[in-house]
Amino acid sequence: MINGKNKNITNVNLTFALDELGYKGKKLATALNGEFVSVQSRDNTNLKEGDKLEVLSPQQGG
Amino acid sequence: MKDFYGSKLKSQMMLGTAQYPSPAILVSCFEKSKASVATVSLRRESGNLDSGNSFWSIIKKLDVKILPNTAGCHTVKEAVTTAHMAREIFDTKWIKLEVIGEEDTLQPDVFGLVEAAKILSDEGFEVFPYTTEDLVVADKLLNSGCKVLMPWGSPIGSGQGLNNIFGLKALRAHFPDIPMIIDAGIGLPSHATKAMELGFDAVLLNTAIAKAGDPIVMAEAFSHAIISGALGLNADPMEPRDMANPSTPIFGKAFL
């Protein structure tokens, strides 16, 4: 699940998975199953079936 | 003016970035309001769009400090994780901590708020807690490591102004040295003036400007209102009286 939607991806590594999903070069932050995953940790993070990935970016806020 | 975690701000106006009719109007509102701080959030990004980068390219050109929020978080875990993500993406220790406890009023869950504030303060965050005017909660937030408080005026987006003047006065009097920002519920420039007259150190608003018929004029109005309230307080206002007291001298009046 990526941002609440089921997605099939071929890359299990988080950095490559983000590239595959079209996020390459974007200013974003990630959380996996409710836990923050820093930019530095993405290379060492692998996704598995059923994981919930959140990909967030700067947006309007009050 | 008090500083906020060591930062001196160029104005006592803080402004949200949501709900403007257009990006150009958002930019003009920041210019006219002379806001010193912009609040921002984190939301889901689509792989196909680039809304985050588009928005950020506008905000980073504003001459303001960035205050990310945890808006919409209902649990301590959600708020703490969001704060971690915000610190990385916005490269700031500042976090406007919201832990919402009730949907209709968007009232903070003050128990969760204190818990999250403690976790984040211990991790080095500079926490701006969105809270109520409750003195006991304020004391616990300060003991948790917060050095700034953000009491609500009234429910977020309601435009009702300051619903509990007595409570806000008591809070201000109880913690005279703590920087405090009235956050939420401001609808009119006069509400912001009143907040400053009560001795608060800044006002944070969004909807009152963004949803006004003419947001740019309203932004300018709020700028004047906040300055007026602060100047008036510093000028040592007269005490109100129950009875009239003629301002024109009686002495020398003609007998006609």
Inter-chain touch A59–B41, beta carbons under 8 Å: yes
Q: Write down the mean pLDDT value for chain B.
A: 95
Inter-chain touch A56–B45, beta carbons under 8 Å: yes
Instruction: List chain B residues with CB under 8 Å of A56.
Output: 42-45, 52, 85, 89
How do residues B173-224 score in pLDDT, each as one tens digit?
Answer: 999 999 999 999 999 999 999 999 999 999 999 999 999 999 999 999 999 9
Catalytic residue among B60, B65, B77, B96: B96
Shortest Cα–Cα distance, B15 to chain A (Å): 7
How do residues B9-48 score in pLDDT, each as one tens digit?
Answer: 999 999 999 999 999 999 999 999 999 999 999 999 877 7
pLDDT at B53 > cutoff 90:
no
Complex ipTM, two decimals? 0.94
pLDDT below 70 — which residues of chain A? none
> Is the pLDDT higher at B226 or at A50?
B226
Shortest Cα–Cα distance, B23 to chain A (Å): 10
Catalytic, B96? Answer: yes
Shortest Cα–Cα distance, A40 to chain B (Å): 11
Question: What letter represents residue B198's amino acid?
Answer: L
Q: Which of A22, A34, A61 sits opposite B81 (nearest CB)?
A: A34
Inter-chain touch A57–B17, beta carbons under 8 Å: no
Instruction: List chain A residues with CB under 8 Å of B45.
Output: 3, 23, 26, 28, 55-57
3-state secondary structure of A30: strand
Q: Read off the pLDDT of each residue in B139-162 and give the average, rounded to a whole number.
A: 96
Q: Please calculate the CA angle B209-B6-B82 and round it to the nearest 5 degrees.
A: 60
Inter-chain touch B45–A39, beta carbons under 8 Å: no
pLDDT at position B141 is: 98
pLDDT at position B46 is: 79
Instruction: List chain A residues with CB under 8 Å of B92.
Output: none
pLDDT band at B52 (very low <50, low <70, confident <90, very high): confident
> What DSSP string describes chain B?
---BTTBPPS-SEEEE--S-S-HHHHHHHHHHHT-SEEEEEEEE--SS--HHHHHHHHHTTSSSEEEEB-TT--SHHHHHHHHHHHHHHHT-SEEEE--EEETTTTEE-HHHHHHHHHHHHHTT-EEEEEE-S-HHHHHHHHHTT-S-BEEBSSSTT-----S-HHHHHHHHHHSTTS-BEEES---SHHHHHHHHHTT-SEEEESHHHHTSSSHHHHHHHHHHHHHHHHHHHHT-PPPP-SS---SS-STT----
Instruction: List chain A residues with CB under 8 Å of B157.
Output: 62
- pTM assigned to the model: 0.92
pLDDT at position B50 is: 79
pLDDT at position B102 is: 92
pLDDT at position B138 is: 98
pLDDT at B230 > cutoff 80:
yes
Q: Which of A21, A28, A54 sits opposite B89 (nearest CB)?
A: A28
Euclidean distance between CA atoms B109 and B9, whole angstroms: 29
A28 in contact with chain B, both atoms CB, cutoff 8 A = yes
How do residues B80-125 score in pLDDT, each as one tens digit?
Answer: 999 999 999 999 999 999 999 998 999 999 999 999 999 999 999 9
A48 in contact with chain B, both atoms CB, cutoff 8 A = no
Q: Which of B41, B50, B77 sits opposite A60 (nearest CB)?
A: B41
Total CB pairs under 8 A between chain A and B: 107
Instruction: List chain B residues with CB under 8 Å of A23.
Output: 45, 47
pLDDT at position A34 is: 94
